């Protein structure tokens, strides 16, 4: 090997080492940058005709276990889903109150029952009559509070769909643009590591939105799919769309005023089951409407069972009873829990809780006959009070005849919802069952979130163990490169000295 060749070989070593120095600087500078993955560049020997011609540093590539990254993407989508579910249910938990602390439905219904029990001992006691009105108003107000919390959570879910779809489109377009840059750079033999890091951030955002999966292509681009296999375009032209709606209790998807999430003219709502979007759809169309249906059923039966005994204590704001006929079980009283009130006529005349508001004809399958206490009637009239305690608040509508069961299937405005608990005998049982069902739903969401966080954390650590920048490792490599640099520089210095000797000999 000639001297000039030796100098060129050593020079290639210095050039390769300089590139390695730059890469270490890049890694160390971005050690704490979100989404950054440690980069490395392979060194390759250069030869011609069997003779060594030096070394060359290849383009920087990421140190990344793609299989672990794919698992982490899946888990991040699941975490976004579970976090959305748990967060949405938390305000409803608060509104429900705490069982046994006098602020939950069962306790407040118990206060109404206790009021009638006390009134039975002194039916003419006006203070106790008013106490029943107050306790009944508190119960109706608590029903409103829970219904309002459910409605607000459902509207929030609809609003989040609008914002998440917009975010999804933005990140899909970003992936498409980076795909184009990566394909061009890769075909030119350039490093695409930094572009891939940028794309990973957009991919992570898409995962949080919809729980997507990605398929890498030979040219360096990635294709994006929903977990169910729907292809999501990254060209920025074909976008996912949604028209947000203001949701009332009667709104439902797809025929009740709530439109679908569209792509290319097709409704893909049913295919979006992951991430924040999947959670929002589940909350909007299943979880929250089912809670609303259970609360409406309790409210309607609360009103109906008192009314059946001759006391229209609970009613619509105009004093009438909700309609109970229709094609769906709750067709006439969807959303009743939002407006149930103490009958204005009873509020104006508290003695009606002793006397009754209307006569009952009586039926073999319903309540027995009842005649209200007329104006000026006995002050110690207890017939109605006994009917309330022994029938309205009990399991039998009259002795030996069971109360009509609360509906548990075919509920909601479309008649498609089912409660997670069966028919209950008493109003107290219904209040407790509804409370337990909501608590179970919330507890399951919280438990699922905890489990998902644990697995996601494990995968994060596993991925970071191989892809995160290790400062110690980078410093160790830096020392080795310094030694190599010094050795190559020494070779060049020696070759230059020898070349000068040769030049002097020629002269």
How many distinct helices (H) and strands (E) make up the chain? Answer: 12, 13
Preceding peptide of 118 cis, ω within 30°: no
Residues 58 and 44: beta-carbon distance below 8 Å: yes
- pLDDT of the residue at 291: 98
Nearest to 120 by CA among 396, 388, 302: 388
pLDDT of residue 100: 85
Residue 246 confidence (pLDDT): 96
- For residue range 58-96, what is the model confidence (pLDDT) as tens digits? 565 565 567 788 888 899 999 999 999 999 999 999 999
Q: Output the pLDDT for position 66.
A: 75
Instruction: Please report the pLDDT score of residue 28 as a whole number.
Output: 63
Q: 279, 247, 242, 280: which is closest to 261 by C-alpha?
A: 242
Per-residue pLDDT at 72:
86
Give dist(CA 27, CA 19) in Å, integer.
12
Q: Could you give the CA distance from residue 21 to residue 32 in angstroms, rounded to a whole number?
A: 19
Pairing status of strand 314-315 against strand 266-267: unpaired
Query: How far apart (Å, rounded) are the C-alpha atoms in residues 290 and 198?
Result: 41
pLDDT tens-place string over residues 10-41:
555 556 566 655 666 666 666 666 666 666 56
pLDDT reported for residue 462: 74
Place of tokens 């709104």: 251
Around 467, how many Cα atoms within 13 Å sit in the side-chain half-sphere?
22
Structure tokens at 165: 């779809």
Which residues in the chain land under pLDDT 50? 1
CA distance 26 to 411: 60
Three-state DSSP at 190 gives coil
pLDDT at residue 328 in the model: 79
Domain ranges of the chain: 3-63+470-506, 69-454
Give me 245's structure tokens.
């709606």
Angle between helices 126-187 and 193-210 (to 10 degrees): 150
Contact of 227 with 273, CB cutoff 8 Å = yes
Helix (H, G, I), strand (E, B) or coil at 438: helix
Q: In this predicted structure, what is the pLDDT of residue 11?
A: 56
3-state secondary structure labels for all residues of 205-257: HHHHHHCCEEEECCCCCEEEECCCCCEECCCCCCCCECCCCCCCCCCECCCEE
Specify whether the CB–CB gap between 315 and 140 falls below 8 A: no
344: helix, strand or coil: helix
C-alpha to C-alpha distance for 425 and 418, rounded to whole angstroms: 18
């Amino acid at each position: 090997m000639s001297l000039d060749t030796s100098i060129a070989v050593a020079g290639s070593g210095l050039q390769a080492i300089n590139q390695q120095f730059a890469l270490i600087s890049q890694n160390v500078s971005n050690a704490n940058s979100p989404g950054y993955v440690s980069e490395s560049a392979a060194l390759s020997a250069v030869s011609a005709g069997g003779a060594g011609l030096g070394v060359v540093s290849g383009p920087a590539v990421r140190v990344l276990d793609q299989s672990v990254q794919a698992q982490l993407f899946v888990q991040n989508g699941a975490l976004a889903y579970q976090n959305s579910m748990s967060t949405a249910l938390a305000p409803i938990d608060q509104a429900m109150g705490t069982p046994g602390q006098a602020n939950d439905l069962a306790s407040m219904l118990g206060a109404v029952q206790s009021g009638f029990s006390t009134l039975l001992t002194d039916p003419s006691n006006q203070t106790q009559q008013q106490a029943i009105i107050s306790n009944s108003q508190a119960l109706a107000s608590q029903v409103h509070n829970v219904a309002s919390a459910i409605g607000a959570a459902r509207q929030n879910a609809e609003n989040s769909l609008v914002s998440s779809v917009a975010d999804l489109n933005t990140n899909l377009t970003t992936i498409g643009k980076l795909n184009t840059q990566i394909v061009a750079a890769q075909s030119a033999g350039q490093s695409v590591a930094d572009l891939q890091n940028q794309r990973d951030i957009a991919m992570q955002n898409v995962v949080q939105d919809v729980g997507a999966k990605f398929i890498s292509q030979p040219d360096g681009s990635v294709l994006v799919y929903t977990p169910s296999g729907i292809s999501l375009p990254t060209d920025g032209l074909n976008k996912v769309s949604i028209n947000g709606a203001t949701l009332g209790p009667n709104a439902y998807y797809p025929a009740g005023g709530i439109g679908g999430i569209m792509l290319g003219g097709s409704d893909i709502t049913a295919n979006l089951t992951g991430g924040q979007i999947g959670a929002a759809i589940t909350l909007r169309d299943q979880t929250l409407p089912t809670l609303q249906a259970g609360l409406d059923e309790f409210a309607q039966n609360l009103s109906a069972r008192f009314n059946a005994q001759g006391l229209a204590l609970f009613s619509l704001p105009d004093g009438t009873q909700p309609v109970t006929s229709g094609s769906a079980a709750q067709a006439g009283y969807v959303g009743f829990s939002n407006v149930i009130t103490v009958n204005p006529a009873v509020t104006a005349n508290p003695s009606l809780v002793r006397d009754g508001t209307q006569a009952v004809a009586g039926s073999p399958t319903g309540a027995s006959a009842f005649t209200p206490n007329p104006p000026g009637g006995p002050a110690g009239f207890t017939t109605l009070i006994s009917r309330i305690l022994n029938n309205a608040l009990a399991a039998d509508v009259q002795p030996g005849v069971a109360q009509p069961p609360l509906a548990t299937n075919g509920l909601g405005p479309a008649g498609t919802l089912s409660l997670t608990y069966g028919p209950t005998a008493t109003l107290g049982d219904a209040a407790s069952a509804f409370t337990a069902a909501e608590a179970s739903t919330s507890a399951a969401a919280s438990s699922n979130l905890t489990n998902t966080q644990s697995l996601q954390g494990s995968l994060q650590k596993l991925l970071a163990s191989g892809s995160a920048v290790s400062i110690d490792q980078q410093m160790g490599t830096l020392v080795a490169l310094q030694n190599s640099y010094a050795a190559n520089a020494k070779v060049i210095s020696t070759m230059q000295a020898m070349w000068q000797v040769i030049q002097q000999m020629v002269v």
